[in-house]
Structure 1
Amino acid sequence: MHRHPEHTRRWKRPAVLAGMATLGATALSGCGTADEFKRAYLPESVTENGDGIHTFWVGMWIAGMAIAVLVWALTAWCIVMYRRRHEDEVPKQVRYNVPIEILYTVVPIVMVAGLFVQNVKLENDLLNIDEEPQNTVNVVGKQWSWDFNYLDDNVYETGQQAVLTGKDGVAESLPTLYLPVNERTEFVLTTRDVIHSFWVPQFLQKLDMIPGRVNRFQVVPTEEGTYQGKCAELCGAYHAEMLFQVKVVSREEYDKQMQALEDEGQTGFLNEQYDRKELINGEPAVEDRDPGHNDWMLQGGKDEN
């Protein structure tokens, strides 16, 4: 029996699209190394917190792909089983199906609830600061650079906005945060002006810096090296140039850097006198508003018990 040309054309386009999708998925699956594929293309972590984040990330991808395969299979089954077989055929009209509607209402709720519980558990682990840190650094965001107060060593590093020339050598001009390897460091995050976000991609963790609020989290770097950091919250015209570096080094090299900062005269604490609000005429000084603020920050932004 000769097949109608229009009927053939109706099948041809979906088949071509399906073939293109399959080829695209195959090509993408071949990109990157085996290790990158195993991490689901998440950056390689260099902190102790990385294992939990990696497990959660890969688990979400596995669950998402399982759901996608199920939906694609059911869609294909419906297309094949309930296709129109004759030109004059009208499919049976069904207004609703209670069991199916209950299924696609309850299952997503259970899935989202499970994802929410796992997300909250991981977030609580990442923001847990109950353990006493070996080092405390006050990271201060500002338009458009960073200041680092090393509270335990009573020294500081101050940065200026990066100038992206497209040439080599820009990295050397960036403010650099030093961390000792295999030691617990607590970041005390504050801002001098607007909302910023402290992000080192290979830490797999970031946290906002909000005016009038102190946020904190802890990390234990496990690998020495130089890592790139940036602001992850749109904060103005030169947000893209708000860059810094992190050097994870041995304890000996860390102590040498702290001594170098002291020798350069960068001692003490860069307090709020440099904040935008402090530079506006008529604004009361931070000491007048809160006489104990600097002492409080030197304690890592923690109230005494």
Structure 2
Amino acid sequence: MFQQTKQEAAPVPQHDQIKPRSRGRRMAIWASVTVVAMVALSGCELGAARDGFLPKGVTENAERVRTLWIGGWIALLVVGVLVWGLILWCVVAYRRRRDDNELPVQLRYNVPLEILYTILPIFMIAVFFFYTARDQTALLDTSKDPAVTVNVVGKQWSWDFNYVEGDVHEVGSQAIMTGQPGAEETIPTMYLPVGERTEFVLTSRDVIHSFWVPQFLQKLDMIPGKVNKFQVVPTEEGTFKGKCAELCGAYHSQMLFNVKVVSRADFDAHLADLKSRGQTGLLGTDLNRDGSGLVPGEDKLLPEELRKKP
């Protein structure tokens, strides 16, 4: 009986026959194709990308915010591409060779490299901090005299608007978002004159809210017992959506409002309409849930009717 005395070598799988060098090239090619495909597919959104995928700004401050946003992303993408490129280069350049059976030289430290990745991030953070602080100071500057002052009061889950110069107010009720016709009429609307500086004086009756009109590209928190302010100059007429941007309870998503930017004549007509409906005077802080007023020293930021009671 014949017995096999020499074991036949098992066939090598086809994927194991691929040389490491060709495998590295293939990986680099696929990485390049992926990057090119991503750039090509994003071409249909170049218009939105130019604006940083932000909504169209309708105030004088909007361009400052857009520039800071886009500049920050460009800097981050440059760093990202550099890091991704170095990673791919290391993967290809330092892959294991076919005849490489030893461990590479082990280094405990590299002083120049450690200095680089310590100093460079500190420098990047300092640059981001400088431009952010510069623009934040400009966006929150209230040194100019406004033509219109609106005390925006947040409450669960709606908004009140005190028009200080006109000595009238608008009381908002919670939006009824049923998806049925007429739901839009339940949303309170604030009127602003186009091309004129408006100062928002932000207060809250109960919990923390946040006043946000996306197309203003600016928002600010409303904190109980504290007064926050900022100014805008609307540059376009139209109706813009506003909402609360701070989770404030069960119906936070329905805490909506509209902003109508109109001509000065239409703005004055709206204030006259509020007066004719008997909505005169300004809503005071005695309507706050806890009955408290404003923090001492900051009540002077509001008109007499809104100051803290003795």
Give me the TM-score of the superposition, normalised by structure 1. Answer: 0.86
Instruction: Give ranges in structure 1 of 5+ residues lacking alignment.
Output: 279-284
Q: Which amino acid aligns with 2:204?
A: T
Q: How far is 1:89 from its partner?
A: 4.0
Once superposed, what is the RMSD of the aligned Cα atoms?
A: 3.0
Q: C-alpha separation between the residues in 1 aligned to 2:218 and 2:18?
A: 53
Hey, what does 1:281 align to over in structure 2? none
Does 2:115 match 1:102?
yes
Hey, what does 1:253 align to over in structure 2? 266
Q: Which amino acid aligns with 1:185?
A: T
Q: Which amino acid aligns with 1:79?
A: V
Post-superposition Cα deviations, 1:123-150, rounded to whole Å, max 9, x if no partner, equal: 0000000000000000000000000000
Q: For residues 207 and 286 of structure 1, do their structure 2 counterparts lie closer, same or farther at Cα, with a shift above 3 Å needed?
A: closer
Q: For residues 68 and 168 of structure 1, do their structure 2 counterparts lie closer, same or farther at Cα, with a shift above 3 Å needed?
A: farther
Q: C-alpha separation between the residues in 2 aligned to 1:77 and 1:17?
A: 14
Q: For residues 96 and 286 of structure 1, do their structure 2 counterparts lie closer, same or farther at Cα, with a shift above 3 Å needed?
A: closer
Q: C-alpha separation between the residues in 1 aligned to 2:261 and 2:183?
A: 19
Q: C-alpha separation between the residues in 2 aligned to 1:272 and 1:150?
A: 15
Hey, what does 2:76 align to over in structure 1? 64
Q: C-alpha separation between the residues in 2 aligned to 1:28 and 1:300?
A: 57
Q: C-alpha separation between the residues in 2 aligned to 1:82 and 1:274?
A: 70
Hey, what does 1:173 align to over in structure 2? 186
Does 2:236 match 1:211?
no
**Greater Rg by CA:** 2
Post-superposition Cα deviations, 1:155-203, rounded to whole Å, max 9, x if no partner, equal: 0011111111123432222000100000000000000000000000000
Instruction: Give ranges in structure 2 of 5+ residues lacking alignment.
Output: 1-11
Q: For residues 21 and 242 of structure 1, do their structure 2 counterparts lie closer, same or farther at Cα, with a shift above 3 Å needed?
A: farther
Does 2:239 match 1:229?
no
Q: C-alpha separation between the residues in 2 aligned to 1:270 and 1:194?
A: 18
Q: How far is 1:76 from its partner?
A: 1.5
Give me the TM-score of the superposition, normalised by structure 2. Answer: 0.85
Bigger Cα displacement from structure 2, 93-102 vs 114-123: 93-102
Hey, what does 2:303 align to over in structure 1? 298
Q: How far is 1:21 from its partner?
A: 4.7
**Count of residue pairs brought into register by the alignment:** 292
User: Do 1:214 and 1:301's aligned partners in 2 also have CA atoms closer than 8 Å?
Assistant: no
Does 2:210 match 1:197?
yes
Hey, what does 2:15 align to over in structure 1? 5
Does 2:62 match 1:50?
yes
Deviant stretches of 4+, over 4 Å: 7-17, 299-303
Q: C-alpha separation between the residues in 2 aligned to 1:299 and 1:134?
A: 18
Bigger Cα displacement from structure 2, 16-25 vs 263-272: 16-25
User: Do 2:282 and 2:305's aligned partners in 1 also have CA atoms closer than 8 Å?
Assistant: no
Does 2:149 match 1:136?
yes
Among the aligned pairs, what percent are the same residue?
52
Q: C-alpha separation between the residues in 2 aligned to 1:9 and 1:171?
A: 67
Q: C-alpha separation between the residues in 1 aligned to 2:27 and 2:288?
A: 60
Q: C-alpha separation between the residues in 1 aligned to 2:173 and 2:268?
A: 24
Question: 2:302 is paired with a residue of what secondary structure?
Answer: helix
User: Do 1:188 and 1:301's aligned partners in 2 also have CA atoms closer than 8 Å?
Assistant: no
Q: How far is 1:260 from its partner?
A: 0.6
User: Do 1:149 and 1:156's aligned partners in 2 also have CA atoms closer than 8 Å?
Assistant: yes
Does 2:44 match 1:36?
no
Q: For residues 7 and 62 of structure 1, do their structure 2 counterparts lie closer, same or farther at Cα, with a shift above 3 Å needed?
A: farther
User: Do 1:226 and 1:247's aligned partners in 2 also have CA atoms closer than 8 Å?
Assistant: yes
Selected match of 2:253 from 222, 240, 243: 240
Q: For residues 267 and 99 of structure 1, do their structure 2 counterparts lie closer, same or farther at Cα, with a shift above 3 Å needed?
A: same
Q: C-alpha separation between the residues in 1 aligned to 2:136 and 2:250?
A: 31
Q: For residues 237 and 126 of structure 1, do their structure 2 counterparts lie closer, same or farther at Cα, with a shift above 3 Å needed?
A: same
Hey, what does 2:96 align to over in structure 1? 84
